[in-house]
Amino acid sequence: MYKDLLNHRRRNFLARVARMGNAALLPGALRSAAEVIAGTAIWNTSVRAQAAFGDALSDPPQIRSRNGTLETTLTAATGTVQLGSFSFPGRLYNGEYIAPVLRARLGDTLKIRFDNRLPDQPSNLHFHGMSVSPRGHSDNVFVHVPPGGNFDYLVNIPARDRQGPGMFWYHPHAHGVVAPQILGGMSGGLIVDGMDERLPILHDMPERLLLIKHIKHAGREVVSINGQINPVISIRPGELQYWRVAHIGATLFVKFAADDLPFYVVATDGHVLSAPRRTTGFFMGPGQRYDLIFVGPEAGEYAMRTIPFQNEAWLPPEPAQQIATILSSGPAAHSAPIENRVLSQRVHGPRWIDDVRRAPIARRRTLDYSRTADRKMFMIDGRTMDENRVDQTVRLGDTEEWTIVNTDQQYHSFHIHQTAFLVTEVNGVAQSRDSLHDTYSIPPATDLGPGSLKVVIPFTDPVIVGRFVYHCHSVNHEDKGMMGIVEVVA
């Protein structure tokens, strides 16, 4: 059915080129309509031209664990990235803009040789969202591998306790150079399988991985999915698909929707809800993930678009762009509406969130996010990051309430390593959340006052004893100082 769509779009696009000429396209991209189409490939088009008809959504490469071990090498090096019609100098894992998705199970061990062949920057690996040890050769962001060096990571995924199945990701975390490395392409998905055991309706569904990245081009942010500009996601009317959406980019806060079509969220940041929740749009900051069920709509073509919103008070909103096309065609998978069936599902087994809700609060803390006027330094509690300083000391077994105050007139976010948290208030408004997060966006300050986020953080898992960090996950802010160190002591 994708071939029929492509033929239809070819005819429409050539008609538009004939009517409008090259002025309709971004500068320097298209020389003639004959250059546009070569079989089913799209060549030499501009971002706007390629958005007229994209390729079918590709599956990222995957590496799976075997016999309880996932063993691989990740090599960081420079290389050229071709993204749609334009290219840029990348910083890549194994030479690819979309790095391999690592797939393991609870109780498995990740054995990863990290080889840093970047010419000019240290680097390392962080396993974002994982409740694993922050020490030694595990998820230790204080290890900085110099250019030409290597490091053998050994990450034991707990078989039980706080770590569960879900969608996570990996990326560099060498303070000061994180943003250019992630923007260059150094990030990839990490899945702990078993979510279908918590929610059996997922078991027989086709899985779609949607890995969101972004790069600035011609003065605007270009959003890609699996390294593609406006890919086509095919589905049959009434078909249920399991979508795993991960923002593995560096700095972009993004809103998106798909022509008011419903999505049914089943997990946030790898943590399962008690039952699917219906929504028609998402707000995602860097690092956030959603697992969801998508039901094929009536036959037709639907646009998934970003939605403009005010982020930085001194800049206009990013214009809307189409980031994917949903193509629904073929025989209907179900003859009757199935929303009630989806919404009636209930998770199997206990959930960590219930323990967090019941836990007494041992201590309350307030963190202040701020920056200098020239935006060269971003601070927490008036201080920039110092790897030799511990900013917060927490006792193992305690559950604490932290309030993060955003005095800046732009979005920031709160991310903490090794443990998830429960969001209880946003801008003073109580929240009733049905799942945990490890990354959450904080609204900007306005004339009415600062933005704020209140969270309850469980420091209860013995595996997380040690030093790790919390920070804004718009990583250019992290690089400029908006990060602190917490130490959990037994």
Q: Which of 476, 488, 482 is nearest to 216 (CA)?
A: 476
**Half-sphere exposure (CA, 13 Å, Cβ side) for 146?**
0
Q: Are strands 126-128 and 220-225 parallel, antiparallel or unpaired?
A: unpaired
pLDDT bin (cut points 50, 70, 90) of residue 34 is very low
| Residue for token pair 């994982």 | 130
Averaged pLDDT, 375-397: 97
Averaged pLDDT, 238-262: 97
Residue 14 pLDDT > 60: no
* Torsion of the alpha carbons at 43, 47, 51 and 54, rounded to the nearest 10: 40
Q: Is 300 exposed, middle or buried (0-12, 13-18, 19+ CB in 10 A)?
A: exposed
Q: Using CA atoms, how far apart are residues 148 and 201, in angstroms rounded to an integer?
A: 47
Q: Let me know how many helices (H) and strands (E) the chain has, helices first.
A: 7, 33
Q: Using CA atoms, how far apart are residues 255 and 310, in angstroms rounded to an integer?
A: 11
Contact of 452 with 433, CB cutoff 8 Å: no
User: CA dist 114 to 68, 122, 145, Å?
Assistant: 20, 12, 8
pLDDT bin (cut points 50, 70, 90) of residue 32 is very low
How many C-beta atoms surround the C-beta of residue 19 within 10 A?
Answer: 8
The better pLDDT of the pair 396, 2 is held by 396
Q: Is the dihedral of CA 345, 346, 349, 352 positive or negative?
A: positive
- Tens-digit pLDDT profile for residues 115-143: 999 999 999 999 999 999 999 999 999 99
Residue 179: both structure tokens together: 């943003």
Contact of 473 with 439, CB cutoff 8 Å: yes
> Which residues, other chains included, contact 180 with Cβ-Cβ below 8 Å and sequence gap of 6+?
91, 121
Q: Is 346 exposed, middle or buried (0-12, 13-18, 19+ CB in 10 A)?
A: exposed
Residue 7 has a pLDDT of: 44
Contact of 215 with 183, CB cutoff 8 Å: yes
Residue 162 pLDDT > 90: no
Helices within 294-350 (DSSP H only): 339-343
Q: Which CATH class is domain 352-489?
A: mainly beta
Q: Using CA atoms, how far apart are residues 332 and 298, in angstroms rounded to an integer?
A: 9
Adjacent-strand bridge partners of 215: 222
Q: Using CA atoms, how far apart are residues 323 and 307, in angstroms rounded to an integer?
A: 11
Averaged pLDDT, 198-202: 96
- 214 residue type, one letter: H
| Residue for token pair 């079989």 | 39
Q: Is 22 exposed, middle or buried (0-12, 13-18, 19+ CB in 10 A)?
A: middle
Residue 209 pLDDT > 90: yes
Q: Are strands 398-406 and 451-459 parallel, antiparallel or unpaired?
A: antiparallel
Q: Which of 442, 265, 271, 433 is nearest to 357 (CA)?
A: 433
Averaged pLDDT, 233-248: 97
Residue 44 pLDDT > 90: no
Would you say the pTM of this structure is higher than 0.75?
Answer: yes
Residue 161 has a pLDDT of: 72
Residue 54 has a pLDDT of: 67
Residue 361 has a pLDDT of: 98
How many C-beta atoms surround the C-beta of residue 176 within 10 A?
Answer: 14
Cα diameter, the chain: 71
Contact of 88 with 217, CB cutoff 8 Å: yes
Q: For the ranges 113-122, 335-344, 372-381, which has the lowest average pLDDT?
A: 335-344
Rounded to 5°, the CA angle 154-158-159 comes to 130
Q: Using CA atoms, how far apart are residues 379 and 365, in angstroms rounded to an integer?
A: 16
Residue 26 pLDDT > 50: no
